[in-house]
Amino acid sequence: MAVKTNGTLEYDAKGLDLQQTLFCGQSFVWRQCGPQTPNEYKGVAAGRAVLAGCQGNVLRLRPLEGSGPLTRQDDAFWAHYFALDEDYEMLHSRFARSARLHTCVREYAGIRVLNQPFFETLLCFIISQNNHIPRIVGIVERLCQAFGPVLGPGLYGFPPADVLAKATLQGLAPLRAGFRAKYLLDAAEQVASGTIDEQTLRALPTDEARRQLMRIKGVGPKVADCVLLYALGRREVAPMDVWMKRAMKALFPKGMPACAKGAEGIAQQYIFCWARQNLQAGS
């Protein structure tokens, strides 16, 4: 039980590194707090707004100004969001069987693959296509401000699908999302109408779930795999973007070693971060 009497949540962080996890490119909804609290981050997911910080091996979440105390429902939600229910110690020991993966584990041991809300993740990765991370963050912010619920002073959540589905292309123009605006509308319409249903996707085999996701305009293999990995808990898929391909080629010229099979999602999250630091500078 992580709920404290002062309305905060405290967890055994189990080695979680917030900086590595929140800013390695799997989520676009977290912001670093001011210079006074450099190790604290504010974020919103599923209409829940928190300040998150790690002290030693304690992950502490507290409500943002204007939102109420955190509850038992928040407790379960955030524990799963930060993957505190996954056995990373076991995964690390599996990765360590490969010399190269061992390096990834050593450098990025604190990275967790987050379990993010489905519709939010879908929108974020539609926005991400052919785009830069700073601009993705900006578009997401404007999307929430324009269509999301007010959670506190200057604080907005993601718009629900039915709200966004009622918007028009003209209405989305201030987001400056470019050609992606029509894709956002199609995603919202299909989710709002039930054509795309999260629970149905969860029950489907991964390949079929991917096919269903790709019926949304603007969702191809890359975006679908990101949604499968980050929102639907499919750890066997890989978001094979440019960096990933480069990293895979650099790390595993003869293919992924057998020891990493079954955990590629997490392994590749490590590789992704390794690639961002090492390949960006060197290639």
Task: Verify binding: residue 233, DNA, rule CB under 7 A.
Answer: no
Task: Verify binding: residue 83, DNA, rule CB under 7 A.
Answer: no
Q: How far apart are the first and last CA of the chain?
A: 47
Amino acid at 1: M
Long-range Cβ pairs for the range 97-106 (8 Å, 24+):
97/257, 97/259, 98/257, 98/259, 98/260, 100/251, 100/252, 101/257, 101/259, 101/260, 101/267, 101/270, 103/274, 104/267, 104/270, 104/271, 104/273, 104/274, 105/270
By DSSP bridging, strand 155-156 and strand 150-152 are: antiparallel
How many residues bind DNA, per CB under 7 A?
33
Tell me the backbone φ, ψ of residue 3, rounded to 5 degrees. Answer: -75, 130
Nearest CA to 198 out of 163, 172, 234, 166 is that of 234
Find the binding residues for DNA in span 243-282 (CB under 7 A): 243, 272
Out of 101, 191, 219, 263, which residue is the one contacting DNA (CB under 7 A)?
219
In terms of CB distance, is 79 or 214 closer to DNA?
214
In terms of CB distance, is 25 or 257 closer to DNA?
25
Task: Verify binding: residue 218, DNA, rule CB under 7 A.
Answer: yes
Find the binding residues for DNA in span 129-148 (CB under 7 A): 129-135, 138
In terms of CB distance, is 10 or 17 closer to DNA?
17
Contacts for 228 with CB less than 8 Å, ≥ 6 apart: 206, 209, 210, 213, 234, 237
Out of 242, 261, 262, 277, which residue is the one contacting DNA (CB under 7 A)?
242
Out of 179, 258, 281, 282, which residue is the one contacting DNA (CB under 7 A)?
179
Task: Verify binding: residue 222, DNA, rule CB under 7 A.
Answer: yes
Q: How far is the CB of 280 from DNA (least distance, A)?
A: 9
Task: Verify binding: residue 121, DNA, rule CB under 7 A.
Answer: no
Q: How far is the CB of 141 from DNA (least distance, A)?
A: 11
Contact 33, 122 (CB under 8 A): no
Residue with tokens 């987050």: 114
Among the listed ranges 45-53, 154-162, 176-184, 247-255, the one in contact with DNA (CB under 7 A) is: 176-184
Task: Verify binding: residue 220, DNA, rule CB under 7 A.
Answer: yes
What residue ranges bind DNA (CB under 7 A)? Answer: 24-26, 125, 128-135, 138, 173, 176-179, 214, 217-224, 226, 239, 241-243, 272
